[in-house]
Amino acid sequence: MKRIFEIDPWKVTTHKFSTEDKRLQESLTAIGNDYMGMRGNFEEGYSGDSLQGTYLAGVWFPDKTRVGWWKNGYPEYFGKSLNAPSFIGIGITINGEKLDLAKVNFSDFTFSLDMHQGLLSRSFIYEGKGVKVKFEFERFLHITLKEAALIQVKITVLSGNAKIDFDSTLDGTVVNEDSNYDEHFWISRGENAAARTIKVETKANTYKVPRFTVLLKESLRHNGQIIRGDVTTDKAKLSEKFSVNLHEGESYDLEKDVIVVTSRDVKPDEQDEKAAALMKKLQAKSFAENLADHTAVWQKRWDKSDVVIAGDAAAQQGIRFNILQLFMTYYGEDKRLNIGPKGFTGEKYGGATYWDTEAYIIPMYLCVTKPKVTRALLQYRHDQLPGAYHNAKQQGLKGALFPMVTFNGIECHNEWEITFEEIHRNADIPFAIYQYTNYTGDDSYVKNDGMDVLVATSRFWADRVHFSKWRNKYVIHGVTGPNEYENNVNNNWFTNTMARWLLQYTLERLPKASKEAQARVNVSDKEKAKWQDIVDNIYLPEDKKLGIFLQQDDFLDKDIRPASSIPKDQRPINQHWSWDRILRSPFIKQADVLQGIYFLNDRYTKEEKERNFDFYEPLTVHESSLSSCIHSILASELGKKKQAVNFYERTARLDLDNYNNDTVDGLHITSMSGSWLAIVQGFSGMRYDHNQLRFNPFVPDSWDHYSFKINYRGRLIKGYADHKEIKLTLIKGEKLMVTVKDKKLELKEGETTCLKD
């Protein structure tokens, strides 16, 4: 655990700069606008250890697979979110000394991310020979003019005289740190000094993956007037230089405006014109005016989704940081996109699509965005069904297998224990169809395109199970459950349970599907009978004596001991132990049986939940960011309030406090919804099954009160709880019956309904 930013309800600020924590600081100061994003790199450059990272939504490259021993079924490539051309560069030299915080003397350092509007600012005083100069940087990625990045630097000479040389750059010679063969993925497609543009294209590939062309254009302004320096270009690079002489007390401000267009939206031969038009639009307003427009939109987003926590500033900062980062990554405005585990903040996992979206993001986004956003995420998978059929075929199986990692539906993860075995995803992804239908009450998706997904994945499972004559049951061998600290296990309870759920749900929904969908999927009676037989006879391991579901057949053979027995200096175990030791250990990376109990919550009794929680929780090391939130929600339901709060803190501040010592790689974007879920589904106990909205709130002892907002079937509802009362306000929409602590209450528009606790 390491906290390098101060606690503040609306800011992530530090006054310290340590070269050791540079990468961590960069991750935590990442900004985005759901079109592009970047780590908190310094405009003037930095020669010490750093990850210069800029990422453009949906722009990726198929990097040739690298494995030790090839296994049949491996994907040919691993898709990478591309580290895109860097456009923030404003090199600065003061009286001949290059400004580089790894080398120069400086004081009064402040670095701050304002969470109201995703504005990043940084200031410090440079102390050179006979001169002190104050630097103040600000930058943001425009939320309505998505292609625009605005950067401003204000320079004030505090003492002495300073000759400042500027070198504003566009740099397309970037390499992904995680490139398998150290390849450069970008090639130059021409630079234009007069227009201040560079154009780059992704290298040709042999996998029929579309290439991307990106055009970047810069324009500099001083006091609102366009200024033009001397431009030189090199392959995929542009540099614009000019100098100013400043005397003591004088200030100079420079604004760098950037437009980034990609071939996802604009054809390469139309990009120059489009970028020029967008730059004109950007420059019709000043930095301050553009910022005001941008902030107004952020304000609207916050009005609809802010979670207020009184009495615990660290908890408050955590949830706001998570909401901000999520919305900066994805707000559902581009249907072609999805949400990557690292969003725009790093390379490992990057912006690829994982089961994280359906399992963790959708339950929150259903409540904080319009239904069409979730619907688009469901459609995204439907549209990728051809890829999923291909994946199943690769494994020699029928039906469709959704990938663990993808950009286009085709699996691009290449570790056998995940690619071939972590197949639970193929039920978790369709589970989102159920979640959507259940929450919104809209069954038009499941009746039509959703049915294609349900049937295709059911066909996969019906082929992947086999019948054990010895057990007289269907079994599923050779899988990896959500707990990746065990591989090639048999009968992972979670996988078998979710496969069974899927077959059952498909059978239940099939007769209600549209005629067209039924004709399309063409399920025979024989197939239905087989699916029903699997539902009735699949083996779900349990231990009757302990009263628990078994994570997998051999789990109890392990040397069961609590995670608290691991010496502190050996945590996280994935950074200290050999893989062999981890696989044999009883320690669980992330919620597995408990993940199943969370998903299918209404199917288990309180006693079953309690016994499984008490057994598995002590064994769980939560070394996946996706774990603590599930434990928090179940702990809340079981009245284990202290644990619920601890797990909330771990989820909400996972990155801010670097719990798993891996935030240097980037933020854990897809687990950020977990802190929202821990509050709304956990502390407030929200459930929405069987067409009923229910709450069962409690307030953590260390908090005074909390409130949140949800969209529910055309309504906007505010929930509030303190230690004395619970209030529900129907801000907008038709009246609604809800259940709070087993009492039925009617909510009416504009009214607040109270319940004394």
Catalytic residue among 240, 358, 484, 486: 484
The only residue of 79, 172, 341, 346 in contact with ligand BGC, by rule CB under 6 A? 341
Candidates 30-38, 304-312, 350-358, 648-656 — which segment interacts with ligand BGC by CB under 6 A?
350-358
CB of 595 to ligand BGC, least distance (A): 9
720 in contact with ligand BGC (CB under 6 A): no
Q: What is the end-to-end Cα distance of the chain in Å, rounded?
A: 36
Entry field: residues in the chain: 757
Return the closest-CA partner of residue 275 out of 255, 294, 257.
Answer: 257
The answer to whether the CB of 453 falls within 8 A of the CB of 517 is no
Cα distances (Å, whole numbers) of residue 222 to 66, 89, 251, 381:
49, 17, 11, 47
Q: Is 484 a catalytic residue?
A: yes
Nearer to ligand BGC, 346 or 700 (CB): 346
Return the closest-CA partner of residue 408 out of 443, 430, 384, 431.
Answer: 384
Partnered with residue 238 across adjacent β-strands are 170, 233
Nearer to ligand BGC, 349 or 460 (CB): 349
Which 619-648 residues touch ligand BGC, going by CB under 6 A?
624, 626
Neighbours of 747 (CB within 10 A): 22
**324: which 2 tokens?**
């901000």
Binding site listing for substrate? 355-356, 589-590
**487: which 2 tokens?**
């591989």
DSSP state of 720: E
The only residue of 484, 649, 657, 662 in contact with ligand BGC, by rule CB under 6 A? 484
435 in contact with ligand BGC (CB under 6 A): no
607: three-class secondary structure by DSSP: helix
Query: Does residue 33 come out as left (phi exceeding 0), alpha (psi in the -120 to 50 range) or beta?
Result: alpha
- CB contact set of 556 (below 8 Å; sequence gap of 6+): 543, 550
78 in contact with ligand BGC (CB under 6 A): no
202 in contact with ligand BGC (CB under 6 A): no
Candidates 188-196, 347-355, 534-542, 631-639 — which segment interacts with ligand BGC by CB under 6 A?
347-355
DSSP letter for each residue of 162-183: EEEEEEEEEE-----TT-TT--
Nearer to ligand BGC, 415 or 533 (CB): 415
Which 662-681 residues touch ligand BGC, going by CB under 6 A?
670
Nearer to ligand BGC, 429 or 517 (CB): 429
59: three-class secondary structure by DSSP: strand
- CB contact set of 193 (below 8 Å; sequence gap of 6+): 231, 232, 233, 238
Binding track, positions 545-584, relative to ligand BGC; x by CB under 6 A: ----------------------------------------
CB of 482 to ligand BGC, least distance (A): 6
* Phi, then psi, of 160 in degrees rounded to 5: 80, -170
81 in contact with ligand BGC (CB under 6 A): no
147 in contact with ligand BGC (CB under 6 A): no
Nearer to ligand BGC, 89 or 482 (CB): 482
Candidates 167-175, 238-246, 352-360, 383-391 — which segment interacts with ligand BGC by CB under 6 A?
352-360
112 in contact with ligand BGC (CB under 6 A): no
Nearer to ligand BGC, 37 or 341 (CB): 341
Placement of tokens 């292609």 in the chain? 147
Which 353-412 residues touch ligand BGC, going by CB under 6 A?
354-356
Cα distances (Å, whole numbers) of residue 277 to 282, 285, 287:
9, 14, 17
| CB-side neighbour CA atoms (13 Å) of 435 | 27
CB of 2 to ligand BGC, least distance (A): 20
485 in contact with ligand BGC (CB under 6 A): no
Give the pairing type, strands 736-740 and 693-695.
parallel
135: three-class secondary structure by DSSP: strand
In the complex, residue closest to ligand BGC by CB = 341
CB of 662 to ligand BGC, least distance (A): 9
166 in contact with ligand BGC (CB under 6 A): no
Binding track, positions 577-606, relative to ligand BGC; x by CB under 6 A: ------------xx----------------
Alpha helices in 270-312 (DSSP H): 271-283, 287-305
152 in contact with ligand BGC (CB under 6 A): no
Partnered with residue 198 across adjacent β-strands are 191, 216
Nearer to ligand BGC, 186 or 355 (CB): 355
26 in contact with ligand BGC (CB under 6 A): no
Name residue 421's amino acid: E
Report the C-alpha gap between 465 and 491 in whole angstroms. Answer: 10
326 in contact with ligand BGC (CB under 6 A): no
Which residues have a catalytic role annotated? 484
Residues that bind ligand BGC (CB under 6 A): 341, 349, 354-356, 482, 484, 589-590, 624, 626, 670
